[in-house]
Amino acid sequence: MTFRMKGALLACAMAVTVGAGAATAKADQFINILTGGTAGVYYPLGVALAKIYGDKIDGARTQVQSTKGSVENLNLLQAGKGEFALTLGDSLKLAWAGDADAGFKTKLDKIRGIAAVYPNYIQIVASKESGIKSLADLKGKSLSVGAPKSGTELNTRAIMAAAGMSYKDLAKTEYLPFAESVELIKNRQLDATLQSAGLGVASIRDLASSVPIQVVAVPADMVAKLGAPYIGATIPANTYSGQDADVATVAVVNFAVTHEGVSEEMVYQMTKQMFENLPDMVAAHKAAAAIKLEKALEGMPVPLHPGAARYYKEKGLM
């Protein structure tokens, strides 16, 4: 074989290698899943989804990012720094409106809907020794309201306003994620925490197993004051250790969202695999048991992504 022939063969081999590498790079699709604090519900569901997507979507590489929750997730999506996120419905509505007070400097017009998922329950929990039994009893006490401008903190503001109160009525306001709030209550440095999460959230289970607790009711008459997207709800008896009766509260629906820059095929697959592997999500957290395909389009406050729409058309929902 001549030197020239060997050179030509080597060049061909290199071209094949480069071409194969390009095909592989094109096939790999990164999915960054934006969640919340590790002690909440978003995080374990995000971990379950990352495994589902990694196993079921060809070429998918997944990552789970712990965040401060809804507001941060939506701002990250708008900036193209994630492909899938979970968010509270009221935060999503405010993001689409561009509500600066809620943490959105401009209208987040790149956000696109995937599905309504499960409701977050407003869960106000105090230590028994604090003496807090009602919303009115929060006056003069210390309360953790959630991370600053998180979805939980927006919920706290709404609840307190409906009760005719503000942070000024509190002796101390802490802006902390779920796990940190619980640790302060355990150490008698905080009276109560408001947590917007699925039922059975790990942080409150941890607290209830450590100290006697009081789950504080949000009365039914406050639902009308709050209005959409809040709905009346009940925290069933024995959801937490020492909670021996049903407790009235309010809930707000969570949504799975993406942004317009994610391909139709990718969002189609993310929607399809989420609904077709729900048992794996329920195994990660029982809050996922409330995710129903027939409710996927209820109350969606932003435009639906074409990939999600394609899946729902296949299923006869559109």
pLDDT at 20: 33
Element (H, E) at 39: none
Over residues 111-169, the pLDDT tens digits come to 999 999 999 899 999 999 999 999 999 999 999 999 887 889 999 999 999 999 999 99
Contacts of 171 (CB under 8 A, 6+ apart): 140, 141, 142
pTM above 0.85, yes or no: no
pLDDT of residue 19: 34
20-64: per-residue pLDDT in tens?
Answer: 333 333 457 999 999 998 988 999 999 999 999 999 999 999 999
Residue among 149, 210, 144 nearest 178 (CA)? 144
CB neighbour class for 295 (10 Å; exposed up to 12, middle 13-18, buried from 19): middle
Please give the structure tokens belonging to residue 221.
Answer: 């008459």
pLDDT per residue over 249-304, tens digit each? 999 999 999 999 999 999 999 999 999 999 999 999 999 999 999 999 998 999 99
Q: DSSP letter for 217, please.
A: P
Residue 15 has pLDDT above 70, yes or no: no
**Matching residue, tokens 């709050």:** 226
Q: Find out whether 56 and 277 touch, Cβ atoms under 8 Å.
A: yes
First to last CA, the chain: 65
Q: What is the pLDDT of residue 229?
A: 82
Distance CA 31, CA 27 (A): 13
Residue 41, class by beta-carbon neighbours within 10 Å (0-12 exposed, 13-18 middle, 19+ buried)?
buried
